[in-house]
Amino acid sequence: MTAPTDATAPTGAWELPEELVLLRETVRRFVQTEVRPLEDRLPHDAAGFPAAELAGLQKKARDLGLWALATPEEFGGAGLSVLGQVVVAEAAAACRMGAYFPAGGAFGGNPPSVLFRATPEQWDRFGRPIVEGRAGKAFTAITEATGGSDPARAIRCRAERDGDEYVLNGAKMWISHAGTADWGVVYARTGGADERGGISCLVVERDTPGLTMTPIGVMNSFSPYELHFDDARVPIDNRIGAEGEGFGLASEFLVHGRIVYAAGPIGIAQHALGLAIEWAKERQVFGGPLADKQAVQFVLADSEIELRAARLLMYQAAWNADLGKDVQVDASVSKVYGTETAFRVLDRVMQVFGAMGLSKEMPIERWFRDLRVKLLGEGASEVQRMIIARRLLR
């Protein structure tokens, strides 16, 4: 099968600023020439590159300026707009590991966004090493077994004040990157139950006594972790913001994060559609190419229509965010339609490929599993619809 080129490129978008077009093309070339050849040497379900290969990729990315893209300039990052972030995220996702490691993890340098509200001392200790490439990812722990879609009420993990320390007890579930991170931000209840103002944000280091991490086997190739805190002591100096302000800090960044979250699935689905187009032109059935069959043509056409619509909704949400508008509904619309469209397209692509789509010779079945998980991450589709409905009925 011929490797797709232009067939995988997003089309139908309104005109982007020239600098973002150039950035998108740089990212696209990097993924095609640097990331995919390395991926081809790894097992089908590999969840990351070996350390040496990742370091090499990251050096090349930094040399191209593809580093700390979402980190504000005052913190040493590129300070990309939300629109710029979605453009990069879409292009960087067009690889086998793209659902969880855009560009194979090459574009590092971004700490959890809440660190941009840290004190200078906290930033120097935790945030700066990530931006400067001296440390890897950090995790963010909000979700618990009691629920993740309503954290203001679901959080039961408690942090009790004891002198100049907090004593953490409880558990967190479905935490990405916890297994390889040096530290993470944990949202714990310091006030009364069911109080939005009773949640605080604490930086917890990996080697903290009383913290244990256990991987959770799931249907996709990237395992999240369960975190247990048993009288884990955290210095009060590790608290980000004032006591009880954690939920407000989290909400500030979650909305914009949903917009960027939609970009990865759209990028994967667009790349998969390009593979299906090439396959349909080459696959011979009933005396001619599969692409001559109207049923297949309509599947491809419907997928292109929906991906264009999803991309424009995402761009609109990002544009409004950059204008400083209230984008809570825009973000929910973008997240729901982007992830659900991407999953539908993957389903159709798998059908076009037939049995080959189920084979691990192709990345499609892995993407199918990964994108199914994306319907739940960053707030399930049902929660996003609830947010939209509340605003409509207000």
Catalytically active residues, by annotation:
378
| CB-neighbour burial class of residue 321 (10 A; exposed 0-12, middle 13-18, buried 19+) | buried
Contacting residues for 170 by C-beta, under 8 A, at least 6 apart? 144, 156, 157, 158, 188, 228, 229
Q: CA–CA separation, 13 vs 312, rounded Å?
A: 6
The backbone torsions φ and ψ at residue 299, rounded to the nearest 5 degrees and listed phi first, read: -60, -45
| DSSP per-residue letters across 355-379 | HHHHSTTSSHHHHHHHHHHHTTTTS
Amino acid at 15: E
Q: CA–CA separation, 27 vs 21, rounded Å?
A: 10
Helix (H) or strand (E) run with residue 382 in it: helix 381-393
Q: CA–CA separation, 303 vs 315, rounded Å?
A: 18
Q: CA–CA separation, 390 vs 220, rounded Å?
A: 32
| Owner of token pair 């965010």 | 321
Q: CA–CA separation, 260 vs 296, rounded Å?
A: 31
